[in-house]
Structure 1
Amino acid sequence: MTHTQLKAVADFLGHHHHIKKARRVENNLLMLDLGGAEALYFDMTRGRATAYLAPARRPAQDFNAPFDTLLHQLLSQSRILEVSVPEGERILRITVQPRSHYKDRKVTLQLEFTGRHANAILLDEEERVVEALRHIDAAQSYRVVRPGVELAPLPPRPEKEQIPFEGSIESWLRENAQRIHQRRMSELRQQKRQQLLKKRERILQALRKLPDEATLGEEAERFREMGNLILAHLHEIRPYDRKLETVDFEGNPVTIPLPEGIAKNRFSEYYFNKARRARSKAEHVHIERKNLEEKLRFYDNILQAIEEAQDPYELEMLVPKQGRAKRKKEKLRDGELYWIEGYKVYVGRNARENQKLLELARSNDLWMHTRDIPGSHVIIRTDKQNLPESVLRSAAKLCVDFSTSQPGNYAVDYTRRKFVKIQEGSHVEYDKYKTIQVLKEGVEIRE
């Protein structure tokens, strides 16, 4: 942002007297709720830091770093004392009086829109760093940004002719919000699409590797015949032989490898067991194929939902990004694990996983399913708590998105797991349920 744009933002902030709430809603995005219909956002991403006006919204995830704790404690419910922009600098300084401290306590939030060095820093009255979005050590720069260290001034910038800002800063901030939203949605949509396509490709590879029933049947018959030939010629096999060269029952020459580490009288049993396994696999390979095809449809439905998503929060719910440690700790063998406002949400990707989740769910967990259409069962781990309405609605939306790609108005039934009775496989009867209506809209191809 330019110096004159920041001065216009300072003038806009100067007409407000209090900050209702201050918090981080994304990795580099700070929100100041000023008590109106819109909040003022500061995107402190390196190289493209900016500001915009948009409706207040929930964080995409929980942020509990020291900076987040202090930002909330010191600026939420605070009184704005002064908003300034140092001459010639791309810095916005918001000085407040925290509600929870003595009247003479002042704290400054210094927002530095300095290209790749963009930062948000909390300062006390002596210009010492209280906390910062990004810490900078002496090894990185002469200007150390660490708690308790006095913040050095920025080096002087070359004098430039400042172009006066014309027009309404509020209109510019709202238009900027639209530009940023479109760019970020495009980037995030592409990122989530790629994450999902990798999962989908793994399912496709597993499908391609599945043998067909006819091949497995022929393999079972071949192993059975090899076992019978070994039985017929067992007396000819010497202790040191590694293969049996003979003719089959139709007079054709055949060579049979003899397994190592197995007693001579168990050679035929070895091949009979292989024949039995191949025959069993031939009988059940269609079930595995069906499970994989259902998983494929599950991911296709999510891909469609990614195209329909209207905001980053919805995209993060559809394809969540978790840290390695958390992913490892919460890895789920059957189904997918999602988080909605801190609640665990388990989703079955096919009939087998739906059945497994029903078996693993606790009696007070919440079960959810889209009425009258086959699809994913959703289990919400409640720990005996009453779920917020926002969690129920978000989970119901996911339930529809995971079950179908067709637009329409869908009824999603939900009840406690103890009121769900398994009939056969993942087919159930349920009682004492409530219903949420979910409108799934269609989407045009955007890109």
Structure 2
Amino acid sequence: MAFDGITVAAIAKELKEALTGGRITKIAQPETDELLLTIKTLDGALRLYISASASLPLIYLTDENKPSPMTAPNFCMLLRKHIGNGRITGVSQPGLERIIHLDIEHLDELGDLCKKKLIVEIMGKHSNIIFCDETYRIIDSIKHVNAQMSSIREVLPGREYFIPDTMAKLNPLTAAQEEFIQTLRDKPSPLGKAIYTSFTGISPVAAEEICWLSGLESHMTAKDLSLDMLAHLYRQFSYYMENVRLGRFQPLIYYDKNAPKEFSAIPLSHFTEYTFQEYDSISQVLKCYYATKNTLTRIRQKSTDLRHVVQISLERNRKKYDLQTRQLKDTENRDKYKVYGELINIYGYSLPAGSKELTALNYYTDQEITIPLDPTMTPQENSQKYFARYNKQKRTFEALTELIKETADDIQYLESISNALDIAMSEADLAQIKEELMQSGYIKRKFTKKKVKLTSKPMHYISGDGYHMYVGKNNLQNDELTFSFASGNDWWFHAKGAPGSHVIVKTNGDELPDRTFEDAGRLAAYYSKNRGSDKVEIDYVEKKHVKKPNGAKPGFVVYYTNYSLVIDSDISEIENVQD
């Protein structure tokens, strides 16, 4: 989700409650476009992280420190001179702009009380941190913007600070119904786009949510709607903005599988296909979202080579499977040639020389059939020709049946590795998957003196009834969990007919409650290729009934008796233990 005005409103509210009255005890500039302020409050010391990065502008409270350069940059030295030991008297947001004002009081060299403003603009590539006096005259900024860089506004010492109004957007917190309706009717674009391009601080996701709450399709235009429908849309718009005005925020992150999809300060009811996790503060959301996003991006980049190996092998095996299936189809009529040979042997003695066909009664079906003959061959030779064709196709059928099973097993195995790559969360996970690919012969092992230590562990959850549940991240872990870690009376879960993780529930000799079965089923559904589905069929059985055939690939098991349940893949309510 874009860092929109609604998110900034949630941050401003949080900062106002946490920092007002606090004293700035330390000012650092870890990067050229970052500030880290340490603020002493009645509840203890807090750190405020501010980034004016063009690619990732942020502002939030954090407990993490960052190393600073040996020599502080000029902007950092200026702030230390003016507001070092200053007191934060207020935090505000103008309208619903992506801007936060920090009002600061401090004593100058003569001991006189002075007031300054630290203005944080979260505006993508135009983001900036601007230091002004109380009359909004710019003292300095972390980025200087001259006339050659922008014809709209210069950000230089001595210039007057103002918010450029380049889009002529309306303030959604004060828009009246008539103004709202007329603004949308003047726009030919779809409803969702008309909302976020007409009102300050509203992102496309928020506009989509407002349309959803109104029961309207966002691709419709305002001209397609009656006045009553537009009035209904305005009421939902007002209810939504009332949450912002009153500070009724509920920070959460939505997940697509295990990857963070969006974050929001207000629940997004139209995100029905995603799981979500609630947080106590918007700072926690931003910190977790971007940390996880960066981690997943790094892991995905590092897994590119492994994914390429798996994808190439999958494509090769799928082509092989299609070819083998077509060849097998050609052998479907093999029994016909056996019947032809038998009937020629029985009735061929009465055929005149040079006959091109034989019409005879098929004693298998009690119907007459016509058999083509080669007139240059005797009946016995024609019979032998059909028997030879039958035997060849029979051998082909038997060989292809075995080959198709092997190819299908290879495809299933490679899909399980692909699923393991999807749920990998660390470099240790990737190292174990790479080891598995080397053991299976898909990657050549490089013999080096340095031995890679495998430290990846299965995921650990606790059910609502307090039972420990373990989830394998890859096939090696699946085998370890099922055949080394689990006891005979522990329960084993797996998504039916889909690549996925083995889930083990430790029973401690108890009879499991129904809720624990459901929790384990949800884990098996979530960590499978069917993740995100509302209905996933899960097989479960006591571990003692799960067997591994001789020579089977890692993660492959068989069982001949099992129970089944159909469950969703929402694991947001299941406690995750970080071992």
TM above 0.5, one fold? no
Which protein has greater RCO, CA pairs closer than 8 Å, 6+ apart? Answer: 1
Q: Which has the larger radius of gyration?
A: 2
Name the TM tier (shorter chain): 0.3 to 0.5
Instruction: Give me the TM-score of the superposition, normalised by structure 1.
Output: 0.40
Instruction: Give me the TM-score of the superposition, normalised by structure 2.
Output: 0.32
